[in-house]
Chain A
Amino acid sequence: MRSSLQQVIHWVEPNSRVLDLGCGDGTLMAHLIEHKGCSGYGLEIDRDCIISAVSKGVNAIERDLDNGLGEFGDKTFDTVVMTQALQATQRPDLALAEMLRIGHEAIITFPNFAHISHRIQLGLLGRMPVSKALPHQWYDTPNIHLSTFNDFERLCDAQNAEIMDRQVMTRTGLGHTLARLRPNLLGDLALYRVRGRTL
């Protein structure tokens, strides 16, 4: 399992009710159900992924996240998770607001567009970055709303979301200590645990 998923699993409280937005083949939810006694649903747009998730014992529901999550009531889940999908939504700001509304907590992971390798490709070579974290060409990428550590924290601020925890992942594990000091420059993947501030 990816180490980023292990971090997400670590953040989810045992026996909690989880909504996984863009659950893919259900790997994360299946692990949470089996090892942490969690319950809940995974939403996914890809039917072949849904079939995989169902065969893993996950409650998988076909859903285009861009159609909104209006049917889910306020604070009906302990944790709403979105791994590597925020950048592919039509409106990441609305997605974050909905996660904060539906869940007591939200866990979000996304590729950091400001990573130094991306900066070099764009800044020096003058080309849209392609990397392990962002493997697509500019014309066929599903990642239409790329952002950085700094951008995301500004969005959280604008939505009055409290950042409970933040982790930085690097591709190799090398330079991890440095990346923690300079996440926006050296982090490949951003992981956030946030919640709405009680007013």
Chain B
Amino acid sequence: MLLSTPFDLHFDEPLELVKGQRLDGYDLRVETYGTLNAAADNAILICHALSGDHHAAGRHSPDDPKPGWWDAYIGPGKPIDTDRFYVVSLNNLGGCGGTTGPTTVNPATGELWGPDFPDVCVRDWVTSQARLADHLGIAQWAAVVGGSLGGMQALQWAIQYPERLRHAVVIAAAPKLSTQNIAFNEIARQAITRDPDYFEGRYVEHAAIPRAGLGLARMIGHVTYLSDAGLGSKFGRARQDGSDELFQVESYLRYQGEAFTNRFDANTYVLMTRALDEFDPAGEQSLAEALSVAQCGFQVISFSSDWRFNPGRSEEIVRALVDADKPVNYACIPTEHGHDGFLLPHPQYEGLLRAYLSRIEVSA
């Protein structure tokens, strides 16, 4: 069993944020799996998605009931093989898993950051991840890997620090959000901020939690991460046991929403969805032009029933990489699990990741 222990790293050097504000110092909560080799060339960075955190794999104790969010893919003998690679996973700035964010104290005021935590974006995360690499003695990642918003960080890495990674694995991502994506995020934010218990983001000071809003945001998000067929085959039109009225899917969504409010912070949710909306590494350029600086190899993977970031969005990335004459592999994994497919076991997904990561040369 892979046992992991999170730890905090403090960074004193101020971070100038893309949106203009500045963090004088910050903590990152980190987990690592495996061992960094003497040449420091076997490190893989795992970037988390909207609601993820640093706990990507393993368990915190032998009787820990639940492993990390990507435990199916990270561990000894797994596609991201911790016998071979030193795997680093962190909670991003603005998160609520222990890294500096809305739920931590602003040293300037002595109060919680709350809604006043500055807007951070994917580029800021990548900058902070590069400083993490410096701290750990990693000049160059063997690979930067991520799904969804994590895949966007991998893409940003290839553009922002081209010499600091050898491979980027971009899973279930998009080069920027579609209008529909932004629309769904806005509905989620409205659900949160209109909750009477939101108190302009100062709910902690009011001893409240905007459970209704955050739960609703999660329910909306959750439906967009699954597919029609996937929901259908999981629940059909079945009713909840002992109920004549409640469909199982209703009960399921209510449970998912409620469970989420117990582990996730509403301000962080608003911040993370904003970071998603703002992601657009190409900007005025074409994506191929933006990616022309990349020096790494790319593995792009999509999921057939994903309508949040559909396969066409991944194919935009592939096309831009081909236009820019970059090495790229691509496959669309057949699944009915929708966007969530990137978190779930699948033999071809696993096979492809394994085949690609096996190509990475690392020193003994």
Pick the contact of B359: A41, A57, A73 (CB < 8 A).
Answer: A57
A50 adjacent to B329 (CB under 8 Å): yes
B59 interface residue per 8 A CB criterion: no
Q: Which label, helix, strand, loop or mixed, suits the secondary structure of the A interface?
A: mixed
A61 adjacent to B359 (CB under 8 Å): no
A153 interface residue per 8 A CB criterion: no
Residues of B within 8 A of A50 (CB): 329, 331, 352
Pick the contact of A61: B325, B329, B358 (CB < 8 A).
Answer: B329
A residues 35-66 near B (Cβ < 8 Å) are 41, 47-48, 50-52, 54-55, 57, 59-62
A72 interface residue per 8 A CB criterion: yes
B356 interface residue per 8 A CB criterion: yes
Total count of chain B residues near the partner, CB < 8 A: 21
A61 adjacent to B355 (CB under 8 Å): no
Total count of chain A residues near the partner, CB < 8 A: 17
B332 interface residue per 8 A CB criterion: yes
A140 interface residue per 8 A CB criterion: no
B318 interface residue per 8 A CB criterion: yes
B residues 325-347 near A (Cβ < 8 Å) are 325, 327-334
A47 adjacent to B322 (CB under 8 Å): no
B residues 304-331 near A (Cβ < 8 Å) are 318-319, 322-323, 325, 327-331
A60 adjacent to B358 (CB under 8 Å): no
Residues of A within 8 A of B333 (CB): 47
B322 adjacent to A54 (CB under 8 Å): no
Residues of B within 8 A of A62 (CB): 330-332
B351 interface residue per 8 A CB criterion: yes
A61 adjacent to B328 (CB under 8 Å): yes
Residues of A within 8 A of B322 (CB): 41, 61, 71-72
Pick the contact of B329: A48, A54, A71 (CB < 8 A).
Answer: A54
Residues of B within 8 A of A41 (CB): 322, 328
Please list 10 pairs of residues, one from A and one from B, whose beta carbons are closer than 8 Å in the complex, sorted by A's number: A17-B325, A47-B352, A50-B331, A54-B352, A55-B358, A57-B359, A59-B327, A59-B329, A61-B329, A72-B322
6 tightest A-B CB contacts, nearest first: A55-B355, A54-B355, A62-B331, A51-B351, A61-B330, A71-B319
